[in-house]
Structure 1
């Protein structure tokens, strides 16, 4: 699987070009499935935000990029239907568009639905994550980004990449997360973490990681931040 882990969607020409480069055919000939599930677990998201994502009317360009077709893959529904009704559709899709929301809620339903088990076989599929839809691929999210906790007590995302993501970093005084908050966050993360803004994405193809950005980003490690006295 090819990963395009975005902060806020396909927000600029560089991220758009990265997406086009990952696909085996043009966007206009590609079939997409969108996954809104993460929205339902976040206290500030919910039904209206889920509909905006599905309908392509949100401020995060993903569903509205001109796909040949777009379907909805609602993970909470999958355990109640036979796998042969949805697995072939996932296998045939060129791209999975995954909304933001709550990381652990999304991770829980990816596991419960069986989608996580299917991912290793989707070698040519492109996963385009938005915020939590990107963070779910990481090994750790940090306490700052935990709102919902599963009854199982498992607070680990999927760990398909070896770095964490701190999204929505913004200049001091602007809406979003501050750099100081990111430096505090990294102290609770055991591995490296990318601090990214709305104009940044992280592409992962065949294990090779590339930052695609027309904005601001940093790669942080807790020992480096600590040694700098921050």
Structure 2
């Protein structure tokens, strides 16, 4: 296990949200303990909203059975199935078509947002279209991302991760933290996710880049950035 303090995120300190940016979900006790610490109360006393939106933009994970597995807590990446007091679904693609007073109170009152992986640019697009992107900095909640759900916090994702193309082009995303992420390092199902390819990716971005495996997460609280890991990770600096 390691708890490595790595400095400050200049952008993240400007808002109240706490971020737990994972590659593969709440997959080990170190990441689980970090989540409970950030919540400040037991998971069983905490209300969650899950956001599957990123899945629909990626051909490997949505729509269909994998989206259902995430929402129902039947996936191999623990997020929804941790024993929350309640879990609701917040589908960002639907929000522009309903009145804000039907969903804004839900988001403002939740303890945690559980944001699925998939396509980061698709997720960013719908965060903007729905209005959630503008709301995030003011939320007093824990944001738990998985893969693309974590990557979306960065200034950009790097050309290697561009799949779904936004109408405006480019690889710009939320820019709420001043680092980028390369998830699923050395994953057995993703032969291209090597440390050598992570280094090439890092050379193409203008901010520090973390390559992390599924046993690793990045915790951001009050601007402080900390890696919590039972696995492998590497920080690349420009």
Which of the five TM-score ranges fits, normalised by the shorter chain? over 0.9
Structure 2 equivalent of residue 5 of structure 1: 21
How large is the RMSD of aligned CA atoms in angstroms? 1.0
Structure 2 equivalent of residue 175 of structure 1: 189
Matches within 5 A, 1:5-84: 5-47=21-63, 48-84=65-101
Q: Aligned with 2:171: secondary structure? A: coil
- TM-score, normalisation: structure 2: 0.90
Q: 8 Å contact 2:158–2:171 — kept in the other structure?
A: no
Q: Aligned with 2:143: secondary structure? A: strand
Q: Aligned with 1:106: secondary structure? A: helix
Please give the alpha-carbon distance, in whole angstroms, between the structure 1 residues aligned to 2:210 and 2:142: 20
Higher relative contact order, structure no. (Cα contacts within 8 Å, ≥ 6 residues apart): 2
Matches within 5 A, 1:36-185: 36-47=52-63, 48-122=65-139, 124-170=140-186, 174-176=188-190, 177-185=193-201
Structure 2 equivalent of residue 190 of structure 1: 206
User: How far has the Cα of 1:24 moved from its partner?
Assistant: 3.0
Please give the alpha-carbon distance, in whole angstroms, between the structure 1 residues aligned to 2:166 and 2:194: 28
The count of corresponding residues between Structure 1 and Structure 2 is 219
User: How far has the Cα of 1:213 moved from its partner?
Assistant: 0.1
Q: Aligned with 1:159: secondary structure? A: coil
Please give the alpha-carbon distance, in whole angstroms, between the structure 1 residues aligned to 2:27 and 2:70: 14
User: How far has the Cα of 1:153 moved from its partner?
Assistant: 2.2
Runs of 4+ in 1 over 4 A off after TM superposition: none
Q: Aligned with 2:113: secondary structure? A: strand
User: How far has the Cα of 1:155 moved from its partner?
Assistant: 2.7
User: How far has the Cα of 1:8 moved from its partner?
Assistant: 0.1
Please give the alpha-carbon distance, in whole angstroms, between the structure 2 residues aligned to 1:188 and 1:120: 27
User: How far has the Cα of 1:175 moved from its partner?
Assistant: 2.9
User: How far has the Cα of 1:166 moved from its partner?
Assistant: 0.5
After the TM superposition, which of the residue ranges 150-159 and 59-68 deviates more from structure 2?
A: 150-159
Structure 2 equivalent of residue 225 of structure 1: none
User: How far has the Cα of 1:148 moved from its partner?
Assistant: 0.6
Q: 8 Å contact 2:198–2:211 — kept in the other structure?
A: yes
- TM-score, normalisation: structure 1: 0.93
